Structure 1
């Protein structure tokens, strides 16, 4: 089921139509911006949506600002600019491939099996396909797309053979009686030495360089406000966290909100280029000219 709700006065003159997930890292990061606690740019009119929904809405050019998968960038960069802050990159936070307790522990056993994924345009799926090309020589079977919160129940109930999970699932999968077959983050970091680029923040290029600059500064200020006032966003975070345990929400924030959230920096941009270049070389994505990733001056 798609998660959709809205925040804000849609009639406000200066609001930017914005979509991000209800996950704790996003609500923590954007709380101050969404509630007018930092100045400098237009306020957002927020829609909460699963990543598969935001990827699609970005491809259709429907909103001003969105949180999308880095894997979706090749299809949106003509209309949208990648912002240098607000997104999700990191180490030790990669997607996991989960199976039932009776499944073979060998990744090669996934050959011909049905795997549930959160989106075929997600970074998680891209990392999974890069990994599977080497780890599953017999080739995968059917791929089915499910909202991320439905994947673990589907694996547990035997409706799919394996599931690719993201977000807080890495902290809770054992509660479903599942086991981790492989960690996509470990595989990526071993191959590249770089952080994992997961979620990107994009905004319409038609806003213009000056307005985009103010927007980036405001989002960076929202991140810094969240760090300086960690309790201020708690009610907002837990209200959208799908009945998540507060301790798990804190773990989620600690893992996905880090120095790359405040500023991609050289390491972040290197990771994004590496992901897109490797995927293009494998025929999984269209090639992206490097200049399209640069933030408008």
Structure 2
């Protein structure tokens, strides 16, 4: 985890403490806001952390604004509000289950060990819903490990399969691995809804005016990145963990879309649909009727 201080060029004196991942979609979305290029927006103190870390921060009530898995929302919505923008939700962008053996099917995972990036991740919820439909008797042991360690573990035979996210969609063949199943494809085929992955949440105690202003600032930051993608490139590549620029561009193109600017009706339906189905399977607590209300 690392922290980066940004100069307060615009907005109120109080800095908002925010944590998001160093992945290209997050740095692309927040570049203009983090560097004071959104007039009137609050200044930020930025902490970079993987999603499993930010999920834990949210559950402990740390920081003002966080990028988290949609799967963690039922545990934190008393303290945080879901922003209607800035997150990752879309089509054709779901987590993948990878194996070394190209001949395996979903049914073959029964009783086998699977590595996952977090048990409180949206990827894991999608995986559990898929496994309930496809894997008779369920998978075996679940091993939680940082997402960048999963593909090497599958390649080396440490685990039988791995659930991967982020840029692994574009790089898993480099490890000699094979796609067994696409969790997003299963979700879209069974629901017709887009795939909810990562959410932006903000502390409710900031107040309605501040939350509304923050959402407006995030939207402005997204539009600024779309209007001038090259302006965000230094920030994106500085935190992309030696990622190839072409892969970073693919990553941004897949995860930053119209739902990033505004969840809209389909986005909210996808979020509620995922969490309702997960609650029915006993994977998360049920949502209250107004839990997703903003602000």
TM-score range normalised by the length of the shorter chain: over 0.9
Once the two structures are superposed, the pairs formed by residues 223-262 of structure 1 within 5 Å of their partners are 223-262=222-261
Distance in structure 2 (CA, Å) of the matches to 1:38 and 1:126: 35
Query: What is residue 17 of structure 2 aligned with on the other side?
Result: 17
Deviations 1:43-79 (A, max 9, x none): 1101100110000000000110000000000000000
Instruction: Give the secondary structure class of the aligned counterpart of 2:112.
Output: coil
Distance in structure 2 (CA, Å) of the matches to 1:269 and 1:174: 34
Query: What is residue 43 of structure 2 aligned with on the other side?
Result: 43
Contact 2:116/2:142 (<8 A) preserved: yes
Per-residue deviation at 1:103?
5.6
Query: What is residue 5 of structure 1 aligned with on the other side?
Result: 2
Per-residue deviation at 1:40?
2.6
Query: What is residue 205 of structure 1 aligned with on the other side?
Result: 204
Instruction: Give the secondary structure class of the aligned counterpart of 2:197.
Output: strand
Distance in structure 2 (CA, Å) of the matches to 1:292 and 1:136: 32
Deviations 1:157-180 (A, max 9, x none): 111110000011000000000000
Instruction: Give the secondary structure class of the aligned counterpart of 1:290.
Output: coil
Per-residue deviation at 1:104?
3.8
Contact 1:41/1:211 (<8 A) preserved: no
Distance in structure 1 (CA, Å) of the matches to 2:6 and 2:191: 44
Query: What is residue 110 of structure 1 aligned with on the other side?
Result: 109
Query: What is residue 162 of structure 1 aligned with on the other side?
Result: 161
Query: What is residue 122 of structure 1 aligned with on the other side?
Result: 121
Per-residue deviation at 1:10?
9.6
Distance in structure 1 (CA, Å) of the matches to 2:40 and 2:7: 19
Consecutive unaligned residues of structure 1, counting only runs of 5 or more, are: none
Per-residue deviation at 1:292?
1.1
Query: What is residue 149 of structure 1 aligned with on the other side?
Result: 148
Distance in structure 1 (CA, Å) of the matches to 2:137 and 2:175: 28
Distance in structure 2 (CA, Å) of the matches to 1:62 and 1:185: 30
Count of residues paired in the alignment: 292
Distance 1:287 1:10, change over 3 A: farther
Per-residue deviation at 1:9?
5.3
Distance in structure 1 (CA, Å) of the matches to 2:290 and 2:147: 32
Instruction: Give the secondary structure class of the aligned counterpart of 2:291.
Output: helix
Contact 1:59/1:75 (<8 A) preserved: yes
Distance in structure 1 (CA, Å) of the matches to 2:118 and 2:284: 14
Distance in structure 1 (CA, Å) of the matches to 2:246 and 2:264: 30
Contact 1:273/1:290 (<8 A) preserved: no
Per-residue deviation at 1:105?
2.0
Per-residue deviation at 1:41?
2.6
1:187 equivalent in alignment to 2:171: no
Distance in structure 2 (CA, Å) of the matches to 1:40 and 1:10: 14
Consecutive unaligned residues of structure 2, counting only runs of 5 or more, are: none
1:265 equivalent in alignment to 2:264: yes
Contact 1:108/1:138 (<8 A) preserved: no
1:87 equivalent in alignment to 2:87: yes
Query: What is residue 33 of structure 1 aligned with on the other side?
Result: 33
Distance in structure 2 (CA, Å) of the matches to 1:127 and 1:57: 22
CA RMSD across the alignment: 1.3
